[in-house]
Chains A and B, each alone.
Chain A
Amino acid sequence: MTIEQQTENKLSDMPDDNGHFGQYGGMFVPETLMEPLDELNQAYINYFQDPEFLAELDNDLAHYVGRPSPLYFAERWSRELGGAKIYLKREDLNHTGAHKVNNTVGQMLLAKRMGKTRIIAETGAGQHGVATATVAARLGLECVVYMGAEDIQRQALNVYRMKLLGAQVVSVESGSRTLKDALNEAMRDWVTNIDRTFYIIGTAAGPHPYPAMVRDFQAVIGREAREQSMQHEGRLPDALVACIGGGSNAIGLFYPFVDDQEVSMYGVEAAGHGLETGQHAAPLCAGKPGVLHGNRTYLMEDKHGQIIPTHSVSAGLDYPGVGPEHSWLKDIGRANYVSVTDEEALSGFHDLTRIEGIMPALESSHAMAYVKKLAPTMDKDQFIVVNLSGRGDKDIHTVATIDGIEF
């Protein structure tokens, strides 16, 4: 490599051809999946250069998803916090109510072009399951969604939505009966039904090419936010804030800004009952690197390398791993990873609802809770873009139960 080429290397050039972000990422899967992943990678590389594919994707994002999503200036909340201006990237206004659909629309177009007739997915909070069932319904494809038995109880509304959309929801009873176990089960299904099945992973994790591919489908969030920041403020934001479970909404917002060193980035993990209690879902803040679900990344594990149970009030953040690109951005110091507790997240939920009339998902409420801490430390002429990744309707039951209300 010449010196000229080296100076041209940007953070946004990652991953390498084998899906590595530094020491993270990669393809740690059973042999049966290596060929199918290679086939998927080829399709991903080819179609991302195909103008016809990209035009169809843009058309679906505009007319089916409802993009671009607004960048809304939360004026009253900004005034109340007394620091930086706060802009909300309104992914909650997308069809199906969260950012997840950006990715499922994209992967479904790939599935169609690859001639796959059966769609599978894993889901935690149910948002990705609903987004997958939605696009499968639209194309009339068979759809099976794996969901932890624990999550099925917590997210009954989304389970019913998926069923209405014609998906089969399979309750996963193994392990901790949450998102990680749903992912294991979906992988097992994929290995078994590889020929006609397309596995739509919902987050920017898993084996290569998923972390890069999901990021590229979600990066529409950051591209729009960039343009909208220029329209509103005539410059790039001072800080970006997003919640992190697997990290797809965060990487979608961050990625188009990674080469702009003046833009700070904050990924907010779920501290659950508090990092010190061990009952949380914050691998970047309190975990160690390891290998799970096809990639090397920060994990929550015990000293023997067993994955340990996680806790978060929000089912969508209740995952012991995280997308490998976040692990890399942490290690090189490009992004900051912080955490807020269940209690803080709930206060974020209530504040945004009360002050702006917008009810955020409990996942997104973690990002709101961190904005409450960050904004007052910044100047009034600075501004933050926070990803409001999903709407809170699905969580009303959980919030009510915590508040001691029975219906």
Chain B
Amino acid sequence: MSRIKGCFAQLKQEHKKALIPYVAAGDPNPEITVDLMHAMVASGADIIELGVPFSDPMADGPVIQKASERALVYGTSLSDVLAMVKTFRLTNNDTPVVLMGYLNPIEVMGYECFAKAAHDAGVDGVLTVDIPPEEAQSYIPALRACELDPIFLLSPTTTKDRMTIICQYASGFVYYVSVKGVTGTSALDTDEVAKRLAVIKEVTDLPIGVGFGIKNAETAAAVGQVADAVVVGSALVNLVEQNARSLSNEEGNKKITADISQVLVSMRTALDV
């Protein structure tokens, strides 16, 4: 069983929801990432979504755009991100890791070469924002051949027919984008999300994660009422930005890790009530 599938199966038994934090690899510097991943697990993360920096993140709002820019100052490449996951796996063999990013770095590496390297590093799933299933005829088999789960997005504009097609190609979980917009958007309508999730559940048995617009323990708990997993990104990356600006690398990394851990603990607590 894949780590992702196993993770959701176990949470279901325990009647718990998955907490999935997102951070961009190499943000604000490459030294922080592996330690931060471990700290997030210790604070209640069930799955880690690791952003692969890209020069042109067209689906991201300003917070995650800047995270990419900070990471790219150090030249954090897809190969570097895979090396970080490999290091993380030295002491953690259980927590699933999903890479989230854009297609071009994977294109340049080559789908098969990437899939093999990602599997060898200990990656479990890949969410590529700008490849819909229509364009993924060689991408999906390449991932599957290396036991990687292709994670796809569903959005408020996705029709039921499209949902059915997308869910046929997806494995691990599907990711519902809660709002029309980019990452870090403010308003999330929980009632509306609940309605849409009901439709998604008609077409798939895969666990459903919800992201975009989850700001704090309160929204996490509200979304946790209806979804199987809660993804939190910009709210955490904001904490990186605040501390990266004002502190030196070493002090900044400590403070960032502490602040992110604190938010995750509060979300974990709210989700488990």
B104 touches which of A18, A26, A187, A292 (Cβ 8 Å): A292
A180 interfacial by beta-carbon distance below 8 Å: yes
Interface locus among B40-48, B129-137, B214-222: B129-137
Q: Which residues of B contact A183 (CB under 8 A)?
A: 58
Is the CB–CB distance between A192 and B104 below 8 Å?
no
With both beta carbons as reference points, the residue of chain B lying nearest to A307 in the complex is identified as B55
Q: Which residues of B contact A36 (CB under 8 A)?
A: 157
A305 touches which of B78, B154, B157 (Cβ 8 Å): B78
**A293 to B130, alpha carbons, bound, how many Å?**
9
Q: What's the least CB distance linking B155 to chain A, in Å?
A: 4
Is the CB–CB distance between B155 and A32 below 8 Å?
yes
Q: What's the least CB distance linking B263 to chain A, in Å?
A: 25
B159 interfacial by beta-carbon distance below 8 Å: yes
Is the CB–CB distance between B135 and A290 below 8 Å?
no
B204 interfacial by beta-carbon distance below 8 Å: no
B132 touches which of A34, A191, A290 (Cβ 8 Å): A34
Is the CB–CB distance between B180 and A32 below 8 Å?
yes
B22 interfacial by beta-carbon distance below 8 Å: no
Q: What's the least CB distance linking A286 to chain B, in Å?
A: 16
Is the CB–CB distance between B153 and A30 below 8 Å?
yes
**A30 to B135, alpha carbons, bound, how many Å?**
12
Is the CB–CB distance between B108 and A303 below 8 Å?
yes
B87 interfacial by beta-carbon distance below 8 Å: no
Q: What's the least CB distance linking B37 to chain A, in Å?
A: 21
Q: Which residues of B contact A181 (CB under 8 A)?
A: 56
Q: What's the least CB distance linking A328 to chain B, in Å?
A: 16
Is the CB–CB distance between A26 and B155 below 8 Å?
no
**A296 to B102, alpha carbons, bound, how many Å?**
13
- CB under 8 Å from chain A, chain B span 95-114: 102-109
Interface centre among B102, B103, B107, B131 (most CB of A within 10 A): B107
Is the CB–CB distance between B182 and A28 below 8 Å?
no
Given the interface pairs A32-B156, A301-B104, the reply to whether A292 lies near B162 with Cβ below 8 Å is: no
A52 interfacial by beta-carbon distance below 8 Å: no
B108 touches which of A293, A294, A304 (Cβ 8 Å): A304
Given the interface pairs A36-B157, A292-B56, A305-B104, the reply to whether A188 lies near B79 with Cβ below 8 Å is: no
Is the CB–CB distance between A192 and B182 below 8 Å?
yes
Q: Is the interface of B mostly helix, strand, loop or mixed?
A: loop
Given the interface pairs A28-B131, A31-B155, A292-B56, the reply to whether A194 lies near B180 with Cβ below 8 Å is: yes
Q: How large is the interface on A (under 10, 10 to 19, 20 to 34, 35 or more residues)?
A: 35 or more
B134 touches which of A18, A180, A188 (Cβ 8 Å): A18
B72 interfacial by beta-carbon distance below 8 Å: yes
Is the CB–CB distance between B132 and A305 below 8 Å?
no
B107 touches which of A31, A180, A187, A291 (Cβ 8 Å): A291
Q: What's the least CB distance linking B108 to chain A, in Å?
A: 4
Given the interface pairs A174-B69, A192-B181, A192-B182, the reply to whether A31 lies near B58 with Cβ below 8 Å is: no
A13 interfacial by beta-carbon distance below 8 Å: no
A175 interfacial by beta-carbon distance below 8 Å: yes
A35 interfacial by beta-carbon distance below 8 Å: yes
A29 interfacial by beta-carbon distance below 8 Å: yes
Interface locus among B26-34, B59-67, B254-262: B59-67
With both beta carbons as reference points, the residue of chain A lying nearest to B66 in the complex is identified as A174
**A187 to B102, alpha carbons, bound, how many Å?**
15
Given the interface pairs A192-B185, A306-B54, the reply to whether A34 lies near B157 with Cβ below 8 Å is: yes
Is the CB–CB distance between B162 and A191 below 8 Å?
no
Chain A, residues 149-175, CB within 8 Å of chain B (1/0): the string is 000000000000000000000000011
Q: Which residues of A contact B132 (CB under 8 A)?
A: 27-29, 31, 34
B57 interfacial by beta-carbon distance below 8 Å: yes
Is the CB–CB distance between A191 and B55 below 8 Å?
no
A264 interfacial by beta-carbon distance below 8 Å: no
B152 interfacial by beta-carbon distance below 8 Å: yes
Could you jot down 22 A-B contacts, CB within 8 Å?
A18-B134, A26-B134, A27-B132, A28-B130, A28-B131, A31-B177, A32-B155, A32-B157, A32-B158, A35-B158, A35-B159, A36-B157, A174-B62, A175-B56, A188-B59, A191-B182, A192-B182, A291-B130, A296-B107, A304-B105, A305-B54, A306-B54
Q: For the A-B complex with A31-B177, A36-B157, A195-B180 known, give 11 more contacts whose Cβ atoms are closer than 8 Å.
A: A30-B155, A31-B155, A33-B157, A34-B162, A184-B58, A188-B58, A191-B59, A293-B58, A296-B107, A304-B77, A307-B56
